[in-house]
Structure 1
């Protein structure tokens, strides 16, 4: 989506993507392409250069991504946006790079970027033309995907402009998903349909990310407007499939204070971190923001749980994200035009029961302790960001669950991360399929990012437990009791080994808590 062509639509598209409109949609399983298991990090030329893209710009940007430390911080994708091709396809029906902008062709450019240890992206649209009027890919999905694969393309941003011939978004984007899958090359698929067409219901099974709003602009009001529409999307985000509130405007019209807030919030949202500034000339302050590995670490947390707004006091807001190790990342946001004190508590973050908590300031890179309150004096249009550790929600960490009666461990058979895989006990072996991480939200997460789940949210004795995409529901919340039982919060029943069994492969279920040895578990 292009600001120059559709700025009038942006506000309308944000309105379309409201939580109310999404409430009835059923989350889809994530696209299992093996890509974007954490949100993608990279750069795109559009915000700073529009149609003025070229071979020289892309090469120099790849150089700058390495020399600036961005590559070392995890950025990988150097992405070309609209206006890269000629105005018509060639006689064979193929897209042709503009020979003035890309005199060496795309394959040579991709080779250069790959030589830097980076990846390269391309742009098209799910219509007959792109947003700037260049030929797009509707009805040419297989042809274009194979062409891009032959060039060595690693990433496709797929827009929503041009005549769609009456086809739905799901039809058009699914066609490209399938074409990429048979292209012979792994290509990350970034859907850019601006949050329309109920994309939350089919986006996770179709793309590695999908836009949730209209275009972002390099000003505070735009960033805040897009932020306000994000809470309704939280349940759709998961490893391999991410909500995308659009590219970063860090260093692009925002002050350094605003840029830090913007970066902090996009990190907590598990948004793809795609820089849009000129990396070749960025200031030292902008570089420091984009390469803050502590903030990036929140975004890249393997558990993949998206953060959300947990307190809204007008111009003061608290956004928090449960981390895979049981800690909580928190952003204290001040939207006002003057300095304000913004506060939260450990209990509000889901961290209870400790006398004190460790508080890591992710911008000052300092650590302190607090009794319960986390508070900061936050400048206008600014944010403070912390990682808070401690309390019953975070001291559990990552562990195996060993059945006291059987001596065997709660096991995901063969490490299968498919939704609905039933669990069993098996000889403890230290494998990742026997590792569970207790989060601040009360989840027990697998090493693959799935949650321990009571099948169908049922409450009856004998209901099997399984792995499923984490969704924040009560049937995925568990309490590790001091008496060794593990209770399902939604059902109020205990994690139980079927019929007191002790053999490898014995099923695990929920059952009314009775103090039996088959309901006792130790962590280790």
Structure 2
């Protein structure tokens, strides 16, 4: 009798949303092993690793072709030491390594895709000791997305090295409905672009547009199967400090993967402080992994709500408008709607201070495009 092992996803690799850095938003195709090593050096030493960031993900353009037997080949000019050497370097810093491919015949930048080579590529990544695969969706023709991603899931499992599988088909076929058994996270939207409130003709979306696409899909996300609203644009020089706070706050409220997309080799003190705000990151990394619900909407003021472990809660009040908004919010009544008592301490997670309890209204001014992010802790 011949025993067969049913292929499946590696379970338990992402009990909390993955955190790390991806090369695409800042560098695009202009990547090489020197940059990646310097980024790894920076992450390991500047406080980001200590804050929970652990993946270094090399996006598109690392690959240049295939050899005579079909093995994927890294660009020898940009990666002269080879990918295994680079992976080893990242691992030597106590970090994990991620790589990029595509379910179609070519990547989005026209490099070799994995269609027809899924098992061969998975064996290569396993041999290199890769920890994470971002798998894109360009040049896919008439392929079925669930089937295509399932093939790579099976290939990774057969290759034998546990890897996080990041499904990146831009939300076009509702991967939240089928992705739980296939990957560990799935993109819910088109690519993020470096702006607060905008979109362009190829489908790129700003921060607000991405937030709006998460009002109905939060229930699909959780430990080991995360909604992914795409990488962070924090530190890339376009968003204001207020907009960057709102950006990170809402990604944390969504329990979203947090992939920095800036040049962390030259990170400013302000950006580093923002990205490593432990109180905000703790909301993202809460063990329950529940995504926020939009609780109320008053014109340009929205209130998002998220249950946390230990019977605590997070609330995020965001100001979408170009003007300041005065607030006088009765959290006591809101809490009663949750059928719990009202004895909670209210803490401002950006100011790092307690600002009252749920026995009093929360009052103040939220500036344009800014956020008030609160944690309610049981007294």
Report the TM-score, using the length of structure 1 for normalisation.
0.67
In structure 2, C-alpha distance between the alignment counterparts of 1:201 and 1:352, rounded to whole Å: 30
Do residues 47 (structure 1) and 31 (structure 2) align? Answer: no
In structure 1, C-alpha distance between the alignment counterparts of 2:352 and 2:155, rounded to whole Å: 45
Do residues 320 (structure 1) and 305 (structure 2) align? Answer: yes
- Deviation track 1:408-460 (CA, whole Å, cap 9, x = no partner) reads xxxxxxxxxxxxxxxxxxxxxxxxxxxxxxxxxxxxxxxxxxxxxxxxxxxxx
The Cα of 1:255 is off from its aligned counterpart by 1.1
The Cα of 1:355 is off from its aligned counterpart by 5.5
Do residues 362 (structure 1) and 349 (structure 2) align? Answer: yes
Which residue of the partner structure matches residue 210 of structure 2? 226
Which residue of the partner structure matches residue 204 of structure 1? 180
Structure 1 residues not aligned, in runs of 5+: 1-29, 396-524
Which residue of the partner structure matches residue 372 of structure 2? 384
Q: 1:148 aligns with which of 122, 125, 129?
A: 125
The Cα of 1:215 is off from its aligned counterpart by 0.8
Which residue of the partner structure matches residue 173 of structure 1? 149
> What secondary structure is seen at the aligned counterpart in 1 of 2:105?
coil
Do residues 70 (structure 1) and 48 (structure 2) align? Answer: yes
Instruction: Pick which of 304-313 and 127-136 moved more.
Output: 304-313
Do residues 347 (structure 1) and 338 (structure 2) align? Answer: no
In structure 1, C-alpha distance between the alignment counterparts of 2:340 and 2:221, rounded to whole Å: 29
Matches within 5 A, 1:198-277: 198-221=174-197, 222-252=206-236, 253-277=238-262
> What secondary structure is seen at the aligned counterpart in 1 of 2:181?
helix
Q: 1:119 aligns with which of 93, 96, 105?
A: 96
Task: Give yes or no for contact 1:356–1:372 (8 Å, CA) kept in 2.
Answer: no
> What secondary structure is seen at the aligned counterpart in 2 of 1:319?
strand
The Cα of 1:333 is off from its aligned counterpart by 0.4
In structure 2, C-alpha distance between the alignment counterparts of 1:195 and 1:341, rounded to whole Å: 36
Matches within 5 A, 1:474-493: none
> What secondary structure is seen at the aligned counterpart in 2 of 1:377?
strand
Q: 1:82 aligns with which of 25, 40, 60?
A: 60
Task: Give yes or no for contact 1:376–1:384 (8 Å, CA) kept in 2.
Answer: no
In structure 2, C-alpha distance between the alignment counterparts of 1:365 and 1:388, rounded to whole Å: 13
Kindly report the root-mean-square deviation, in angstroms, between the aligned alpha carbons of the 2 structures.
1.6
Task: Give yes or no for contact 1:31–1:204 (8 Å, CA) kept in 2.
Answer: no
Larger radius of gyration: 1
- Deviation track 1:37-67 (CA, whole Å, cap 9, x = no partner) reads 0000000010000000110111000111122
> What secondary structure is seen at the aligned counterpart in 2 of 1:190?
strand
> What secondary structure is seen at the aligned counterpart in 2 of 1:387?
strand
In structure 1, C-alpha distance between the alignment counterparts of 2:173 and 2:261, rounded to whole Å: 26
The Cα of 1:32 is off from its aligned counterpart by 5.6
Task: Give yes or no for contact 1:155–1:189 (8 Å, CA) kept in 2.
Answer: yes
Matches within 5 A, 1:279-428: 279-342=264-327, 343=329, 345-349=331-335, 350=337, 354=341, 356-370=343-357, 371-390=359-378
In structure 1, C-alpha distance between the alignment counterparts of 2:344 and 2:362, rounded to whole Å: 9
> What secondary structure is seen at the aligned counterpart in 1 of 2:100?
strand
- Deviation track 1:277-317 (CA, whole Å, cap 9, x = no partner) reads 11011211110110011111111111111112111111100
In structure 2, C-alpha distance between the alignment counterparts of 1:320 and 1:261, rounded to whole Å: 14
